[in-house]
Structure 1
């Protein structure tokens, strides 16, 4: 807006010392307080009343630009004071990253019964990694903020970095709709967008960089089992059962006594506790070897959970098993005893599944039996529609052979029946032999 006369110069604005209102024209005034502090005000009339709108402590040019904007609002029939107050109220109500991430975490918990997955959502979006942005309004977070969060882990812990980025992106996608529909604010982009991070020098984490879960060489399994069996505590028993059953860690620590029939030597995991619960309607039946039954019979029944945690009514925490493994996997010099032969990394509980799978293939068990034992769905959707068996009794033979191998027992010389019925004998390599 053009001004007829500029009554104040930049020099005057800096040097005026007399307290009071000093006009710059068109309703703009420099206000000098008795203390000498300077601020700008815009004075106008509305509905027969004189009104004053503070513009703050800004420079002369900024003050004139602000006054021009106020003039435009008045000409459009907008009350500038009410508009600014509403904008401030709206900004004050903008949710923080923490408040929206809580909603995203709650949604993730509702979608997953896996204790490990739930724990990861809480950890990655909590203060350990996102502490610097938790209290920031969600729309003020920038790609540079996300960069500062990711840098420390992107190369040193690539798997953590990948999961952290995915969860951050999920929060901002959720926030975009929230701000648009509840606050009328449009987010210009996702601050966790890969394109922007790539331009900041981030390299994509490939499957090769992430690697697989470190697995124990199955030739070392008997020695490992002896070490686990020598270690006291509920976490060590959970490790032992995880190895002997080939199940996922979440399936083991979430086990309840109602799922297990010790007499029939069967464990039935309901669909809602399985990783593929969205597509699976049938429970996963797990044949239990004699060795697993021995472990379970020796456990105290402290709660509904087989592996009871320290907190009343809660199962063993997901970290307890990993912590027990880390403690036992160190020699006197602090170096790991059991490592993945390919990656050289310390073995993990989830890697036991790969150990079992590799052993089973090397000794000659059918692929379908091994995949079924791991809880994987077999074949295409069409094939599964016609397949009406889970090969339970054949898998019982596999799991007993695996337990015999782990515990250094020769099934060829052990003629005791499985589950009260005579079954096929297994030689020391786990290969099925004809019944006599």
Structure 2
């Protein structure tokens, strides 16, 4: 009987026949390889078709059929196989070609993580395999180590591998489309456990800000102050450029390209935030001699923003172990809910959250700017322990 994928995987030592002279050779060491036995120039010869872990059963049959056809036409089968191996790129090469073809259409930093996920999780396992050898079993081997420990990453990797295989098919490198729908059936069910980032209780925030203001200014400390005063995401603060700020009008216009929801976010700046920014601007001018619009506020080299770890280190140096930088957005939201009568939709807009209801999002035309300005002024006064007017 012909071989099956399951038999290929579990067959014991020996020579196992498939059909038309194709055999699976399993050695005592456990290594598995394909061999085609056929008559050539009056002699029976065995031609190796590759290791079973690189060449799946379906491809081995195709290679065997092509080799038999080549012999019938009078070609040298050994030369034919050598040429075929040279012409078929490995999966890493095809992935990088696919990346080069697509990255021009990305306007954010997604292309960096896209390729990095392959370099970390995929290439070490299947990067050297020919692209025609990538099947469900190969992808399963990539996903199994990270499926439960890094579920979101695993799903992204699965989707990206599918993109590469689609690209390979379109380019004629893979004769048929490769379906990965069945891969997840060989994996355990992921149980999503929601974990919230640690957030400082809002009643503790003013004392923390007071302690932070007493420390000498550094890039990390100043970035954390601005993040707290504006309730923005840490990445939006770390990548801020001077051209985005109008200190006279007390507004910060964050471009859509740097926002999670890909919409421009106008942040009203409280007086405390403006005071901080003016001090930062003065120091920047003293250090660089000028303040360019494209210059980063928080950069050691003026061309690369500080990292998340730079801001987190500020918390750790201050012995704050139960809070994160991103968690200050939750601190702000809790304060607004507990200490103000500001409507929830205004707070959500201040946090630049997406409106979950599609109908509501379609009809809402206001960004509550004036109400948000009042909210941010109140929040800053609370943080700085300034008396309310």
Global fold match (TM > 0.5): yes
The equivalent residue for 1:334 is: none
The equivalent residue for 1:292 is: 273
The equivalent residue for 1:165 is: 154
User: Can you list the C-alpha shifts for 1:131-174, whole angstroms capped at 9, x where unaligned?
Assistant: 623742354544224324x27xx44xxxxx12320231122111
Structure 1 residues 227 and 197 mapped into 2: Cα distance closer, same or farther (>3 Å)? farther
The equivalent residue for 2:173 is: 183
As a proportion of its length, which structure holds more helix? 2
Q: Does the CA-based 8 Å contact 2:254-2:265 persist in structure 1?
A: yes
Q: Does the CA-based 8 Å contact 1:248-1:353 persist in structure 2?
A: yes
The equivalent residue for 1:111 is: 106
- The answer to whether 1:352 aligns with 2:351 is no
The equivalent residue for 1:89 is: 86
The equivalent residue for 2:128 is: 136
Q: Which runs of 5+ in 1 are unaligned?
A: 1-39, 46-50, 59-64, 156-160, 331-336, 340-346, 413-436
User: Can you list the C-alpha shifts for 1:91-128, whole angstroms capped at 9, x where unaligned?
Assistant: 3x2331x7616844984785353x5x66654654434x
Partners of 1:362 and 1:177 in 2: CA distance: 51
Q: Structure 2 residue aligned with 1:126, among 105, 108, 119?
A: 119
1:80 is displaced (CA, Å) by: 5.8
Partners of 2:368 and 2:49 in 1: CA distance: 79
The equivalent residue for 1:321 is: 311
User: Can you list the C-alpha shifts for 1:374-431, whole angstroms capped at 9, x where unaligned?
Assistant: 113458555455544322122111001111111222214xxxxxxxxxxxxxxxxxxx
Partners of 2:198 and 2:387 in 1: CA distance: 28
1:321 is displaced (CA, Å) by: 2.3
Structure 1 residues 368 and 204 mapped into 2: Cα distance closer, same or farther (>3 Å)? same
Partners of 2:197 and 2:76 in 1: CA distance: 60
Structure 1 residues 306 and 106 mapped into 2: Cα distance closer, same or farther (>3 Å)? farther
Structure 1 residues 69 and 366 mapped into 2: Cα distance closer, same or farther (>3 Å)? closer
Partners of 2:375 and 2:65 in 1: CA distance: 79
1:211 is displaced (CA, Å) by: 1.0
User: Can you list the C-alpha shifts for 1:343-393, whole angstroms capped at 9, x where unaligned?
Assistant: xxxx22222111111110112221121111111345855545554432212
Partners of 1:380 and 1:73 in 2: CA distance: 61
Q: Which runs of 5+ in 2 are unaligned?
A: 1-36, 51-60
DSSP-derived class of the 2:91 partner: coil
Q: Does the CA-based 8 Å contact 2:122-2:142 persist in structure 1?
A: no
Q: Structure 2 residue aligned with 1:407, among 381, 384, 387?
A: 384
The equivalent residue for 1:213 is: 197
Structure 1 residues 86 and 225 mapped into 2: Cα distance closer, same or farther (>3 Å)? same
1:69 is displaced (CA, Å) by: 6.4
DSSP-derived class of the 1:402 partner: helix
- The answer to whether 1:226 aligns with 2:210 is yes
Matches within 5 A, 1:237-256: 237-256=222-241
DSSP-derived class of the 2:41 partner: strand
Q: Does the CA-based 8 Å contact 1:172-1:192 persist in structure 2?
A: no
Partners of 1:70 and 1:107 in 2: CA distance: 33
Larger Rg: 1
Structure 1 residues 380 and 57 mapped into 2: Cα distance closer, same or farther (>3 Å)? closer
Partners of 2:182 and 2:313 in 1: CA distance: 32
- The answer to whether 1:373 aligns with 2:370 is no
1:42 is displaced (CA, Å) by: 5.5
Structure 1 residues 90 and 99 mapped into 2: Cα distance closer, same or farther (>3 Å)? closer
Partners of 2:85 and 2:326 in 1: CA distance: 51
1:266 is displaced (CA, Å) by: 0.8
